[in-house]
Amino acid sequence: MSDAAAGTEGLRRSELSSSFGELAAALQPPGAQFSPEALVRAAEHGVPHADAAGLTVWPHGAQPRTIGLKDSLAHRVDQIQYAAHEGPCLDAAVGDDLVRVDDLAVDQRWPTFSAAVVDRYGIHSMFSVRLQLEPNLRAALNFYARAAHVLTDDDLVAGAIFAAFVALSLEVQSARTEAEQMRIALQNSRQIGTATGILMARGCLTSEQAFEQLRQTSQHLNRKLRDIARDVVETGELPQVAHRPKH
């Protein structure tokens, strides 16, 4: 490539990056919660030569899954990969930063997957970008095209930019989920502590004795401990345990 051509290519990519930055600002106004699903839909339209886009999420110890509509082209293609245990999305998710294939009809890296996806859906070109996430979560943003040799370097640049946004969105979503779980756990802990204090005061019990009453009532009624504690906080008393008649 000549210096002039290289300069033009670099300028085009710089402009593309700038336009994606503006897109991100427009899509995420202050206070908005922009979901990974919405970003994947935007990526499908934002990568010029892609016919579809999908997001593979693969937590450690679990099966990979595709985020998005179950009847979408991306979901159907990904199901073939998961069943065959091979394919670009899986390779990218477990460590390859970028996996690209220009014609699945001739590429021999994933024979079972390639033959099935070409035959069933006419997909020939793909690329997958690994998302940089926490160690326990592997993921890849994937792009699919029916024509061979149609996905360009500019498509890859655009896909990589979208992948960064999707990764950030997943991290934010994970942090919100963790924060909500911690809030619920703290709320339950406070209720159990309050219920224990009420029983201690009413029965002149130690904290161990009061908690044991909560635990035994929970077992006898087959209800969660936090629910028993909530009843004590609301009524000041343990729920009544029905005694079985003796035979």
Over residues 128-171, the pLDDT tens digits come to 999 988 777 899 999 999 999 999 999 998 899 888 888 887 77
CA distance 243 to 217: 12
For residues 17-46, give the mean pLDDT. Answer: 64
pTM (2 decimals)? 0.65
- pLDDT at 26 (0 to 100): 44
Q: Are 240 and 198 in contact (CB under 8 A)?
A: no
Residues linked to residue 101 through DSSP beta bridges, in sequence order:
126
Nearest CA-CA partner of 50 in 107, 111, 125: 125
- pLDDT at 194 (0 to 100): 85
- For residue 211 the two structure tokens come to 């908690």
Please report, rounded to a whole number, the percentage of residues in the chain having pLDDT higher than 70.
Answer: 80
CA distance 106 to 162: 28
Taken in order of first residue, the domains within the chain and their CATH numbers are: 3-176 (3.30.450.40), 180-235 (1.10.10.10)
Least confident of 22-26, 42-46, 71-75, 138-142: 22-26
- pLDDT at 247 (0 to 100): 42
In the predicted structure, residue 206 carries a pLDDT above the cut 60? yes
Q: Per residue in 87-138, pLDDT tens?
A: 999 999 988 789 999 999 999 999 999 999 999 999 999 999 999 887 778 9
CA 95 to chain centre: 17
